[in-house]
Amino acid sequence: MRVTEGMSYQTLLRDLAFGQDRLQNSQNEVSTGKKVTAPSDNPIAASDIVRLNTEGNEANQFSKNLTFAKAKLQIADTALDSVEQMVERARTLGQLSLGEGNPASAYVAELNGLRDQMVSAANTTHAGRFIFGGSITTTPPYVKNPDSSVTYQGDNQDMPIQVTRNSTLQTQIPGSEIFSGSVDIFSTMSDLANAMQTGDKSAIDAQVKKLEQFSDVVSVARSKIGGYLNAAANIDSELSSTGLVRKSELSQVQDADLAQAITQLTMNQQQLQATMAVGARLSQLTILDYLK
């Protein structure tokens, strides 16, 4: 088959286009540090990159959820720590009043103040939301009525949050399990104050025993919170480990070997220059060259 001048030019143009494409790809690889910047570069690798990035975004959201959960649980634990101190002081006041010959009015005033502080602790918030009201988080769970009684206005729902694809983490304990559960701490402290006011030692002793029972309730609640925090720490560690593996896998699929990419860029530049040199020589040929 005879090679015509037109065929030679077509071959030249094809080689030039191919060389320019390869050079452009090499330049992109060197400038971006990525060997895959479009699905057409490597469809299989591009699919893996999309999957890994999706998993990474998902893990980032789980990590944010964990940060939120841990902060909320830590605030709850701090609040319950202060509650334990208040209860211990109330118990001490009750025991002191057992030794008084007259109504201990100073003890009663302090006890009523502790009760009000307890209401504030039960209405603790995190990020503008009440943490002891169950699923009702926008209004205070405990309300002090005109007669000084305290009413629970929350519910007994848990508030779990998604921390992995297949698991959730509890972020709070409803107040109905703590402050107004087996022992209603507000009624107990009111009854203790009344007993101290009247000097009823039998009633004082009964309420002091209830305070001890309530301390056990708070201790159990704090143990639960500690368990949730431990679980959060374990999941956080797992997410971090998985994230490092994913980052390494993504780098292998996506990142370019810079030294190799620069070498390839140089070779592609040289090949394109050689092709252009052939084109320049071809364009200088005349009819006399073909007649020789």
> Which residues are CB-neighbours of 26 under 8 A, at least 6 positions away?
261, 264, 265, 268
Residue pointed to by tokens 């094809």: 14
In this predicted model, which residue has the larger pLDDT, 37 or 137? Answer: 137
For domain 51-219, the question of CATH label 1.20.1330.10 is answered with: yes
pLDDT in tens, 5-19: 555 556 555 654 554
Instruction: Determine the pLDDT at residue 4.
Output: 52
H or E stretch including 143? strand 142-144
54 C-beta neighbours (distance < 10 Å), count: 10
Q: For 46, what's the count of Cα atoms within 13 Å in the CB-facing half-sphere?
A: 8
Q: What does pTM read for this prediction? A: 0.76
For 108-153, the pLDDT digits (tens) are: 999 999 999 999 999 999 999 999 999 999 999 999 999 999 999 9
Count of H-run helices and E-run strands, the chain: 7, 6
